[in-house]
Structure 1
Amino acid sequence: MTSPVHTDLGALLAHSRSVITSLQEPNGAYPASPDFSAYRGYCWFRDGAFIADGVSAAGAVESATAFFDWCSDVLIRHESTIEEIVAGARSGRPLPDDRMLPARFTIAGDLGDDDWWDFQLDGYGTWLWAAVAHAQRHGLDAQRWRRAAELTVDYLVSSWQRPCFDWWEEHSEHVHVSTLGCIAAGLSAAASGGLIEGERLRSALEARDAIDRMLRHDGTADGHLVKWIGDDVVDGSLSSLIAPLGVIPAADPLAAGTVGAIERELSVDGGVHRFRADTFFGGGQWPLLTCFLGLAQAATGDRDGARRSLEWAASTATAARMLPEQVDDHLLDPSFRQEWIDRWGTVATPLLWSHAMLLRLAVELGEVVA
């Protein structure tokens, strides 16, 4: 592990919340990582939504609210683009991928000007889910985000069946199960949170039901969820569909099957890989994915396993209590590690998403963040 000393969990949790809130921009955006060359200056809807959910669970209410305000402002600013996308889909002439909404925006909420693997749908479902969960957790009025929610639902209903890049910004030719789960969670949240009504509500629920059928018919193999439709391997992100997203009920045999497959195929000495063919920085183990697995373990009744996942993720902290994107104890393909270091520098540290997931799992297990 990156830390040679025993981890003081309470101090690490307090530091994690402080890292996130202190690095948050005045307009509410969360930088993915403040110093990592490829991430600097950008905020992802997906990463940011999970970051906000983590600090919301840990009591940083104003921080999470500010992020969702940022999301709302960005979406309303790009309303005309969303309307064009929806109109194209309805007319049978969908816009090409490079005219869809991006996965990340600049801190100011603008489109980036560098090449990126941008067309991803997951973040738009995830921010809706996280915003409604935050409002319900703290007794807030989610109606402040109503117009942005309506735009998001229209976008997702029009486009959810399209192939796009996955969480890892790879394989744009596929429909990814984790992406479908994020979309389903967002549509469900918008409906249950009272942010949509009438025809928009009906369309959202129809899309949500269609996604559920696709997940269960085409998105599974051997009793577990799979990486993408038509595949048979697992991905570490699939734990999120069980918890915290709740798309697959914890009591469903598919939940236990997915947790078991990730434990068998992707977990080594407690830390979770993204997927078996991963070569990014050599294919290390990710603290945030280990925390997702821990949340799924807790939801399915394995709280001892969840506690071990929490302890492993905490053990990856540096001496300065910073959590990395990944660690290199058990690289899947070490020959690729230096190539990525030469390209982007050393692994992103701190990664705010890692800190947030540690908080989220710790709170789930009853830890108090002082």
Structure 2
Amino acid sequence: MDPLSPWIDRQYRHAAAAMLRSISPVGIVKARPGFGQTVVPKRGAIVASPVLGDWKPEPDYFFHWYRDSAVVIDALRLLHADGTLGPEALGHLGDFVRFSLSLQQLDGRALARDPAWRAAVAPDFIQYLRSDAELAAVHGEEVVAETRVNPDGTLDISTWSRPQNDGAATRALALLRWLKGGAAIGAELAADIADLLHADLAFTLARWRRPCFDLWEEQSGRHYYTLRVQAAALAEGAPWLAELGGTEAAAACGREAHAILAQLDGYWLAEEGFYRSRLLDPPARTTKDLDIAVILAALHADGAEAAHSPRDPRMLATLASLEALFDRDFPINRGRPPGRAAALGRYEGDGYFGGGAWYVSTLAGAELCFRAAAAAAPAEAAGLEARGDAFLATVQAFTPENGDMSEQFDRATGEQTSARHLAWSYAAFITCIAARRTLAG
């Protein structure tokens, strides 16, 4: 028997149950007394973590991130497809779509016009508030560039890295996959999904040329991850629009998807042997050039194209470069037993909560190998599958017996750090195992 199988089965069930805690967490009330807020979530909101952190020391991730929520709703699709979840999955999807549509009505101009809410903010928190001018600019399509909102469907009033333009694209991809997956989506929900898709594709079509903050919300530029998911959303959205009679819009989406992919060809660094993660203005090289975000882009955007996908030899070369980096930099990778791959972080010099290994990153290494194996010749496929299992063995080694997954595990001790019960960590496990199971037929 495959030695990983018993653990995978247990962990898959646990990941599914744990991820569901972040979906419509209506039973959890989040108090932010410093900001004068009490947040009561609405159905359809998906929080990055249901744990009520306050940065002392755990981070406050009780927000609905556009990208994270899309990753979770895509993993939910897989749980429904394999029978782990029944009709309740469609209920969650409907709630998510309706919540997402409701966000289109947000208007920061109301907050800017009425400053009374600022009086409830504690004096030492005023420094973290957004300006009236910034809030007044948030309406219409600008809402989708917000990065995150409160799970009660209100704007985030705190300073944060904005704009971030990957949310509409990742959400569109998740919804298109639900539509293609054969789930029994009723006419009413299908109409709501269509409304949301039209808006997300229009946003992506209009915004892809603009710089924004990266996947990690740290640096503004032209980012591989953002561009790759935008290209995929437009490419997959084009035939959907064409079926609805939107010939002109479909042609525009197809044309712009090709233009984005052509730009991404220029992100390949031949001498270093990896796809760089970003282009900055003014141009500059950075230790963030080699970033797991590129691997995540290939996974989240995976479609029919071979270029910039898990089947791209340059993507596998990028993964090899990341393995070498973290094999060198993380003490937990030294002297590891046979059959275990390197635990992976984000990029060199990462300092966020100690810059440790991420479950999302290490699972991405495994999933990339499994997806590449699915299209490889038998001899190569066997090696890729074994390589993927080696990453999974590392995840197993640093996952406690109860199956709980945080955001990171420490680079030296392996102890879990940062946000507990990160929904994305559980979603990454689900998508990784789904990819592995396709290899078994």
Place the TM-score, normalised by the shorter chain, in its bin.
Answer: 0.7 to 0.9
Structure 1 counterpart of 2:153:
109
Structure 1 residues 239 and 68: CA distance shift in structure 2, 3 A = farther
Equivalent-residue separation in structure 1 for 2:158 and 2:150 (angstroms): 11
1:292-311 matches, within 5 Å, as 292-301=364-373, 302-311=384-393
Q: Deviations over 1:253-275 (max 9, x none)?
A: 32232222222224553211100
TM-score, normalised to structure 1, is 0.81
Query: Is residue 63 of structure 1 aligned with residue 89 of structure 2?
Result: yes
Aligned AA (2:62):
G
Q: Does 1:49 align with 2:93?
A: no
Deviation at 1:312, TM superposition (A): 1.9
Q: Amino acid of the residue matched to residue 328 of structure 1? A: D
Check conservation: 2:61, 2:419, Cα contact below 8 A: no
C-alpha contact 2:78 2:431 (8 A) present in aligned 1: yes
| Distance in 2 between residues matched to 1:65 and 1:259, nearest whole Å | 37
Distance change (3 Å), C-alpha of 1:365 and 1:149: same
* Aligned counterparts of 1:66 and 1:30: Cα–Cα separation in 2: 10
Alignment correspondent of 1:128: 172
> 5+ unaligned residues in a row in structure 2: which ranges?
1-5, 27-42, 108-132, 334-341, 374-383
Q: CA deviation at 1:77?
A: 4.1
- CA offsets per residue over residues 49-95 of structure 1, 9 Å max, x none? 112222321333643662465245434542687xxxxxxxxxxxxx9
* Distance in 2, Cα, partners of 1:203 & 1:266: 41
Shift of 1:237: 1.6
Which of 257, 262, 267 is the matching residue for 2:317? 257
**Distance (Å, rounded) in 2 between the aligned partners of 1:228 and 1:58:** 33
Please, which moves more after superposition, 62-71 or 226-235? 62-71
Look up the match of 2:8: 9
When Rg is computed on C-alpha atoms for both structures, the one with the higher figure is: 2
Q: What is the letter of the counterpart of residue 78 of structure 2? A: A
Number of the residue aligned with 1:78: 104
**Deviation per CA, 1:331-357, whole angstroms, max 9, x where unpaired?**
9xxxxxxxxxxxxx9611111110111
Q: Which moved more, 1:265-274 or 1:317-326?
A: 265-274
Q: Residue in 2 aligned with 1:90? A: none
- Report the CA distance between 1:140 and its aligned residue: 4.6
Q: Name the aligned partner's letter for residue 324 of structure 1.
A: S
In structure 2, C-alpha distance between the alignment counterparts of 1:188 and 1:328, rounded to whole Å: 39
The TM-score normalised by the length of structure 2 is 0.69
Check if 1:279 corresponds to 2:328: no
Q: What SS does the aligned partner of 2:149 have? A: strand
Deviations 1:289-341 (A, max 9, x none): 1111211111222111111222222333234321010011349xxxxxxxxxx
What's 2:435 paired with? 364
Q: Which residue of structure 2 aligns with residue 341 of structure 1?
A: none
Which residue of structure 2 aligns with residue 245 of structure 1? 301
CA deviation after TM superposition for structure 1 residue 96, in Å: 8.1
Q: CA deviation at 1:171?
A: 0.6
Letter in 2 for 1:221: L
> How far apart are the structure 1 equivalents of 2:157 and 2:50?
19
Change (3 A) 1:360 1:144: same
Question: Is contact 1:314-1:358 (8 Å) kept?
Answer: no
Q: Tell me the residue number matched to 1:225.
A: 275
Cα offsets for 1:230-259 (capped at 9, x unmatched): 657311121123324226244433223222
CA RMSD of aligned residues (A): 3.1
The one-letter amino acid paired with 2:222 is V
Work out the CA distance in 2 between the residues paired with 1:160 and 1:68.
28
- Contact kept, 8 Å, 2:409 with 2:417, in 1: the verdict is no
Residue 151 to residue 357, structure 1, CA distance change in 2 (3 Å): same
Q: How many residue pairs align between the two structures?
A: 337
Q: Contact 2:47–2:61 at 8 Å: present in 1 too?
A: yes
Q: 2:46 aligns with which of 30, 42, 54?
A: 30
The CA deviation at 1:150 is 1.1
1:146 to 152, 173, 194: 194
Question: Residue 318 and residue 168 in structure 1: after superposition, are their counterparts in 2 closer, same or farther (change >3 A)?
Answer: same
Preserved contact between residue 75 and residue 427 of structure 2 (Cα < 8 Å)? yes
Choose 207-216 or 265-274, whichever is displaced more. Answer: 265-274
Identify the structure with bigger relative contact order (alpha carbons < 8 Å, sequence gap 6+): 1
Say if 1:96 and 1:107 are closer, same or farther in 2 by CA, change over 3 A.
closer
Q: Quick check: 1:176–1:228 contact (8 Å CA) kept in 2?
A: yes
Equivalent-residue separation in structure 1 for 2:102 and 2:258 (angstroms): 27
**TM-superposed deviation, 1:17:** 0.4
Of the three residues 304, 329, 332, the one matched with 2:411 is 329
**Equivalent residue runs for 1:154-165 within 5 Å:** 154-165=202-213
- Cα drift, residue 170 of structure 1: 0.6
Q: Which residue in 2 is equivalent to 1:198?
A: 247
Cα distance in 2 for partners of 1:65, 1:125 equals 22
